[in-house]
Structure 1
Amino acid sequence: MTRIRVIIPAINEEGSIARVIRDIPSFVSEVIVVDNQSTDHTAQEAQKAGATLLYEPKMGYGYACLKGLAYLRELKEPTEIVVFLDGDYSDYPEEMDKIVAPIIKDDMDLVIGARVKSKREPGSMTVPQIFGNWLATTLMRLFFNSKFTDLGPFRAIKYKKLLALNMEDKTYGWTVEMQLKALRQKLTYTEVDIKYRNRIGESKVSGTVKGSVMAGVKILGWIFKYTFK
C-alpha cells in the first residue's frame, strides 16, 4: 500500500481544522498539522482530531511547509506521496483520491487540484486571487510552455521528487516555486478539477490588502527569476 502523508499549515483555524482532518480519507498514513503561531485553539483541535502536531514559530506558509518536510525526513517509515492541504475547509479533503490517483495509477510526479469556475462556490475566490492565478499561469505558459491553470494549494507530489526540488520559499511563493521547479526539472504533472467552497474564517492572504499584494509580488518574483535565470 502506498504510504501517503498530508501536511496542513494552519494559523487560527480552530473552527475548521477538525473538519478538515475528519474528511481526509482513511488510506492516508498520517496527517501532520503545522501550527504557525495560532492564537486560538487550532493546536488542541488538531490533536483531538488525531493529527500529528508540529509548531513553527516563524510566520509564513513556506516556513510551515518546510517544517513538515523536516519532520518527514526524520521518520523511519518512508513517505511515498506528500499531499498539501489548507486548514480552512475550502477544499474537499474527501477528493484526495482524485488528487493522488494520477500518481498511483499513471506514475505522474505532481498533481495540482484545479479550482475550476464550474466547481467553485460563489465568492470562494476573491478577485485578486482569480486575477493572480490567471496572470501567473499565463506567464508560465508563455515563458515555460506550461499547462498549469491554477496555483491551488491542494496538491500531491512524490516525496522523492519533492526533496529534489530543494524548496526554499518561506512565505507566499511556495506553490508557484514548486510548479516552476517541476517545470525546470521536467517532472511529469497534471491537474484534476476539484470543488472549492467558501472558507471558514478569514483568509490570512487574500483576505487582506497587504497579503494580496505580498503574494502577488512573491509569485511574480519567482516567475521572473526563473524566466531570466
Structure 2
Amino acid sequence: ENDTVLGPASDGGYYLIGMRAELAAQREKVLRLLADINWSTSTVYAQQQDRLRQAGLSVAGLPTMNDLDTFSDLMHARNLNGFYLHAFIPDIRVILPVYNEAENLEYVLRPLIASHMFREIICADNGSTDDSPVIARSLGCHVTRCAERGYGATCLEAMRHIEAQGGCDVILFMDADGSDDPAHLSELLAPLVSNRADMVLGHRAADRAEAGALLPHQRFGNWLSTFLIRIFWKHAYADLGPFRGLRWSALRQLRMRDRNFGWTVEMQIRALKAKLRILEIPVRYRRRHAGRSKVTATVRGSFRAGQIILTTVFRELWQTVRRHD
C-alpha cells in the first residue's frame, strides 16, 4: 500500500528503511533520497521522512524501537522490558573509596546510577563518622566497611566482596569527592569490555584540569613517581591518577597488597611486570565538589602520602632485583 516504510528509533534516527522493489532498483534515485541527511542527529528520522514525501513517495511508520549505537546505549538497554541480550552484557562494578564524603556522595553517585553501566556500585567505606554509609545505601549502593585506615585496605575489602560473589568482568575505581568526571566512563570502559586493553588509566591532562584541581605538590609527586617508573621499568606513564579501570582477571593477576596510598603506583608497576595491555586516555579533572581533601589539603598529609608512594616504588624495585638475582 505504501512506497516506503521507516522504523523510527528512540534517539531520533531510524533502524529500518524499506521500499518497493521497483524503487529500490533505481540506484541513483535511492542515493538522492539518502543524500545530505544530517546523520547522527536527533532529527534523522524527520529529515528522511520529509525527503521521501518531497519525492512524492508515501511513507508508512513502524513502531519505535531503541537503537543500540553506542556502548552507553547497550548498558542503558539492560533495564528495558523484553531485553534479551543480558548474556552479552559485561558485569561491570565500580569501587569508590569513601571517608567522610557525605557532602559529595549524592553528586558523585547519581550520574553513575543514571549511566546504567554498573551491575553494582560499591562504596568502600573507610570508617566514616558522617552519614556517608547511610547516603550510599539510600541510593541503592552496596557499602563495605574497613576499620583499618588506608586507601589500599578499603579497596582490598571491596575486592573481597566482589570475589565472594564470583568476581566480575570489569572493575572501575574512582574517587568519591567529585573530581573524576563521569563523562569519560564510556571511554575508560569500552577498551576493557572489547578486550583491547587490560588496564585503562585516566590521565589528568594539564589542559583538561580545572584551576586548582591539582596542587603544585601533587604535580611534583606525580612527576617524581612517573619519572622513577620510567627510569626503573622503562615505561613512560603520564599519570598516577585514581580514575582507572581493569579487567577483573588482570586485577587478580596483580596480587595487590598495598594497604595505603601506594595502591595506585603499586598497581601500575605490577601491571608492567605482568605485561598487561595498558592504555592511558586524557580525562577532565575537577576540583573536589565540596569539603577539604583528607590527604592533600595539608602539607603534612601530602608529605606522608608522598613518603608512602616512594616507599612503594623502591619496595617493588627491590622485589624486581631479588627476582633477577
**TM-fit CA distance, 1:106:** 5.0
1:157 aligns with 2:246: yes
1:50-199 pair list within 5 angstroms? 50-76=140-166, 78-105=167-194, 107-199=196-288
* CA offset digits 1:99-156 (Å, max 9, x no partner): 1122123520101101011110000111111101111111111211113111110100
Aligned mates of 1:55, 1:123 — CA distance in 2: 31
How many residues are paired up? 228
| Structure 1 letter corresponding to 2:287 | N
Alignment equivalent of 2:110, drawn from 16, 22, 28: 22
Q: 1:106 to 1:72 in 2, by over 3 A?
A: closer
**TM-fit CA distance, 1:49:** 1.7
Aligned mates of 2:246, 2:96 — CA distance in 1: 14
* CA offset digits 1:24-46 (Å, max 9, x no partner): 12121110001111111111111
**TM-fit CA distance, 1:19:** 1.5
Aligned mates of 1:80, 1:66 — CA distance in 2: 17
Aligned mates of 1:36, 1:225 — CA distance in 2: 25
**Corresponding residue for residue 10 of structure 2:** none
**Corresponding residue for residue 41 of structure 1:** 131
| Structure 2 letter corresponding to 1:27 | M
Which one scores higher on RCO, CA 8 angstroms, separation ≥ 6? 1
Aligned mates of 2:183, 2:102 — CA distance in 1: 20
Q: What TM-score do you get using the length of structure 2 for normalisation?
A: 0.68
Aligned mates of 2:136, 2:293 — CA distance in 1: 19
Does the 8 Å contact 2:266/2:316 carry over to 1? no
**TM-fit CA distance, 1:210:** 2.4
* CA offset digits 1:164-223 (Å, max 9, x no partner): 111111111000000000011111101111111110211111112222112111111122
| Structure 1 letter corresponding to 2:208 | K
Counterpart secondary structure, 1:211: helix
Identity %: 37
Give ranges in structure 1 of 5+ residues lacking alignment. Answer: none
1:207 aligns with 2:313: no
Aligned mates of 1:170, 1:227 — CA distance in 2: 18
**Corresponding residue for residue 60 of structure 2:** none
Does the 8 Å contact 1:172/1:214 carry over to 2? no
Q: What TM-score do you get using the length of structure 1 for normalisation?
A: 0.96
Based on CA coordinates, which of the two structures has the bigger radius of gyration?
A: 2
**TM-fit CA distance, 1:227:** 2.6
1:5 aligns with 2:103: no
Give ranges in structure 2 of 5+ residues lacking alignment. Answer: 1-88
